[in-house]
Chains A and B, each alone.
Chain A
């Protein structure tokens, strides 16, 4: 049986929401992982949820990267385990060096909470395997620091390796500056590592998993993850 772990940092906010979607909507066993845990045995995928880990003092994700669980997660990732970071989770993965680049203040310098559209740029990841290339997904964002940046060499590498997973787009899938809510470089909304087993994204798939909440497009991401686990025997943990 596959099992998904949802990390709880002090200040995590979307931990309950993520757990709810896995267990109640996708009927996949899921458990919380306390930030001081160093033991990921038994987990086949780990989700770093949104929120304000450690109050986001200093800089988003800057303190979380030093928590004991992050050492374990780095090990877990190296051994091929699936790691999904959403919003604050994405920021933490960048701070921890598991993903390249960084997330800066939104260009409008304000927190933004609204539904946006993103285009699936690659389906060669365990997080987008059940999507169609170019598919447009409607999911909410809710962040003040979501403007993705990296140096030109890194950007070139991301493109070359197909590591850009989502780009902000118009409802019809076209890219235009007005559809980029936070000023992200190249409209990047989500990226993965070179091995494609670690992904970070600013939009919240767990908030788009039920029609009554306004969209079910987030299930494309989360059920891809679950299906990938059942397809390939899990890289079980370190």
Chain B
């Protein structure tokens, strides 16, 4: 390289950088001035593009950074917190769990199949780029309504919108199945909810978990001047240019469907080869650092690796494998073609790396080298196409403290459920509740996913509150669950976020796992709206407080802003994923009743109030935000149930302790649909068993049955173990109330000695089991399959 070419040139075919071009890239004048200051000159068009993607909301977290600092991220088990491709925690026996959650919301709305598929592909790469083999995927999905009879709701959606929602569900589910099944990772859980607010902006959040030996982790860090920079995997094309940076960093408008070309296209087979080749190449010991090319592709992988390693990287674009001819430097640097990795190898050992990739039939090309000057230097056609301090791109993005204004109390928060008269038979309402898509069985969805491959899944989707994967070669198992409470966050983002953390920790504890670490995916509207920023800030505070009280560190995650369509923001939806550890896999519990005649016990973390939820005005206000209120009355109102983190903590300790004592037959947390739905679900998961329950309450009957206050779980166990259970419950400071026993035939609940629900358990199960399939495919189609 001659001295003369040391300044980035205006390539002949490059577009002139004008104020209009800057504005089209979504940069503010202040951001542009910052770029001029960093460079000490005007950027050329390629450099402008590079800054734009790296400083986009998606890549830079410029609006969220100041808030995310408040989340607890440290704990002795945390080996790697936020800032790498994924979080890493020590799970014992020399193993590390590598996990992270990420959103692919906008691409999935524009093109549901490929959007969801590449969402899975992206997060899998984040995990195996650290040297971990992916062992599980979970998906947290939110869609608009798929049924037209969602109560007498004022938010009723038109038949056209409902039909579109169904197509979105179908496309997203097929996309997830297409990618995960072929790649060979089991999709073991997650959750799906349906609320009108997501009709114009569905959420597709994917969590991936991998396992690696603790001493064989790889990091996205370049080092060693002169070391070769190697490109592996798919060829670079013009697909996905500005995919993450523009699609995910702006609101949706009517023209958004035209952004379909910005959605990437996934090839799970290629990714499977990339996985095997990367793990094998890592075994050679010749790899220094490695990062996947996700959002902002070549740009982010090269400048982030250089920045983390405190070095520079020089790449020659002419050597990049290309799928198309005539691509400009701008296009190549911003392409988001999938299934590509960038790695730094030890100089002199390139051949070992190339041999592995050749074996797997993959392109591996040396495209550059590590330098000592801290610059990201891009050469194209023997000229410098871009030259930017790597650190400025990766770490010096603007940080905004955006204005915050409390969201006005929504009118709907005034709505209250009209309660049924005493003595009303609630069987009909109960059937409607079981058929509500958010409560009904998700079987139709998870049966499209291979949830067993790799033969580690010991609690299948739907069988327990969390998925459980045994760790071969050890006695241990890992549990994973996700949850988010959008409806409650809309009413009170702080309380809603706390509930999300508490519920997912409870889910993990219910299978017998000690909550160990969390990841999150924070889905919000446009951060430039002060109310949205307020929701975000409140949710972060709620999440931080809950994680701190429950001693669960957050090891990373993802923020998805601009979930707005035509100016309307989604309900704030922070999704939490919690990883738990079970020391003895044999002690794992599922929710299924196991033996006829077993006792059913309600555990409550609030020691003094066995079946809680204060009656009166508070109880009714909280009940108005329940699934029952929405499904039966079309009301979303009131406030989330009061949260008691100390009680949650006691209950979690109790569930983990009782499981390890081995005296329980089943455990299931009480959440959507309250005690009544939880009782029924324990039966549905079992081999033909059901419940007969009877207890006393001074609450209105609907609250007693369907209220969703936290810190509660149902356990079943042999009658003979009741005495030790009650002793242990006292030790863990939880209340234990025997409310029934496991039976066959009729599902039966009576309250204050009066029958309130009695129905054939098999027919209830059919309603619950087939509701989603009927909603998505229609009655006729579902009968045929």
Are A and B a genuine interacting pair, yes or no? yes
Interchain CB contact under 8 A, A13 and B267: no
- B777 to chain A: closest residue by CB: A108
When the two chains form the complex, which single residue of A55, A112, A142 contacts B453, counting CB atoms closer than 8 Å? A142
Interchain CB contact under 8 A, B452 and A16: no
Which of chain B's residues have a CB closer than 8 A to the CB of A114?
A: 447
1/0 contact trace for A208-219 toward B, CB 8 Å?
011011100000
Interchain CB contact under 8 A, A51 and B785: no
Within 8 A of B (CB), among A52-99: 52, 54-57
Which of B176-184, B431-439, B546-554, B753-761 binds A? B176-184
**Bound state CA distance, A207 and B447, in angstroms?**
16
Tell yes or no: B695 within 8 A of A by CB.
no
Tell yes or no: A150 within 8 A of B by CB.
no
Interchain CB contact under 8 A, A10 and B273: yes
Which of chain B's residues have a CB closer than 8 A to the CB of A14?
A: 184, 453
Which of chain A's residues have a CB closer than 8 A to the CB of B455?
A: 17, 20-21, 206-207, 209-210, 213
Interchain CB contact under 8 A, A52 and B269: yes
Interchain CB contact under 8 A, B450 and A55: no
When the two chains form the complex, which single residue of B269, B450, B460 contacts A214, counting CB atoms closer than 8 Å? B460
Q: How many residues belonging to A are interface residues under a CB distance threshold of 8 Å?
A: 34
Q: How far is the CB of B466 from chain A (nearest CB, A)?
A: 16
**Bound state CA distance, A14 and B784, in angstroms?**
30
The answer to whether residues A113 and B269 also contact, given A212-B458, A213-B458 and a CB cut-off of 8 A, is no
The answer to whether residues A108 and B785 also contact, given A213-B455, A214-B460 and a CB cut-off of 8 A, is yes
**Bound state CA distance, A95 and B360, in angstroms?**
23
**Bound state CA distance, A51 and B453, in angstroms?**
9
Interchain CB contact under 8 A, A110 and B785: yes
Within 8 A of A (CB), among B235-283: 267-270, 272-273
When the two chains form the complex, which single residue of B447, B454, B470 contacts A112, counting CB atoms closer than 8 Å? B447
Q: How far is the CB of A53 from chain B (nearest CB, A)?
A: 9
Q: How far is the CB of A170 from chain B (nearest CB, A)?
A: 15
Within 8 A of B (CB), among A110-149: 110-114, 140, 142, 144
Which of chain B's residues have a CB closer than 8 A to the CB of A54?
A: 269
Which of chain A's residues have a CB closer than 8 A to the CB of B472?
A: 20, 24
When the two chains form the complex, which single residue of B174, B183, B272, B451 contacts A113, counting CB atoms closer than 8 Å? B451
**Bound state CA distance, A17 and B174, in angstroms?**
25
Within 8 A of B (CB), among A1-17: 10-11, 13-14, 16-17
Q: How far is the CB of A65 from chain B (nearest CB, A)?
A: 17
Q: Is the interface of A mostly helix, strand, loop or mixed?
A: mixed
**Bound state CA distance, A218 and B270, in angstroms?**
31
Which of chain B's residues have a CB closer than 8 A to the CB of A212?
A: 458, 470, 585-586
Interchain CB contact under 8 A, A111 and B452: no
Chain B interface size, as a band, is 20 to 34
Interchain CB contact under 8 A, B784 and A113: no
Which of chain B's residues have a CB closer than 8 A to the CB of A206?
A: 455
Q: How far is the CB of B624 from chain A (nearest CB, A)?
A: 38
Interchain CB contact under 8 A, B269 and A112: no
Q: How far is the CB of A100 from chain B (nearest CB, A)?
A: 27
Which of chain A's residues have a CB closer than 8 A to the CB of B452?
A: 113, 140, 142, 204, 207, 213
Interchain CB contact under 8 A, B269 and A111: no
- A108 to chain B: closest residue by CB: B785
Which of chain A's residues have a CB closer than 8 A to the CB of B174?
A: 110
The answer to whether residues A111 and B458 also contact, given A55-B269, A212-B470 and a CB cut-off of 8 A, is no
Which of chain B's residues have a CB closer than 8 A to the CB of A56?
A: 182, 269
**Bound state CA distance, A201 and B115, in angstroms?**
33
**Bound state CA distance, A51 and B183, in angstroms?**
8
Could you say which of A57, A111, A207 has the most chain B C-beta atoms within 10 Å of its C-beta?
A111
**Bound state CA distance, A144 and B454, in angstroms?**
18
**Bound state CA distance, A13 and B177, in angstroms?**
14
**Bound state CA distance, A107 and B174, in angstroms?**
16
Interchain CB contact under 8 A, A11 and B269: yes
Interchain CB contact under 8 A, B454 and A111: no
Tell yes or no: B46 within 8 A of A by CB.
no
The answer to whether residues A55 and B182 also contact, given A10-B361, A11-B269, A108-B785 and a CB cut-off of 8 A, is yes
**Bound state CA distance, A214 and B184, in angstroms?**
20
Q: How far is the CB of A219 from chain B (nearest CB, A)?
A: 13
- B186 to chain A: closest residue by CB: A113
Which of chain B's residues have a CB closer than 8 A to the CB of A112?
A: 447-448
Tell yes or no: B558 within 8 A of A by CB.
no
Q: How far is the CB of B646 from chain A (nearest CB, A)?
A: 35
Which of chain B's residues have a CB closer than 8 A to the CB of A213?
A: 452, 455, 457-458
Closest A-B pairs by Cβ, 10 of them:
A55-B269, A13-B184, A108-B785, A52-B182, A142-B450, A17-B455, A113-B450, A212-B458, A111-B448, A111-B177
Would you mind naming 10 contact pairs between A and B with Cβ atoms under 8 Å apart?
A: A10-B269, A10-B360, A17-B453, A52-B184, A52-B269, A55-B182, A113-B451, A113-B452, A207-B452, A207-B453
Report A's interface with B, CB cutoff 8 A.
10-11, 13-14, 16-17, 20-21, 24, 50-52, 54-57, 107-108, 110-114, 140, 142, 144, 204, 206-207, 209-210, 212-214
A20-B455, A51-B184, A110-B177 are known; give 16 further A-B pairs, CB within 8 A.
A13-B184, A13-B272, A16-B454, A24-B472, A52-B268, A55-B268, A56-B182, A56-B269, A111-B450, A113-B450, A114-B447, A140-B452, A207-B455, A212-B470, A212-B585, A213-B455
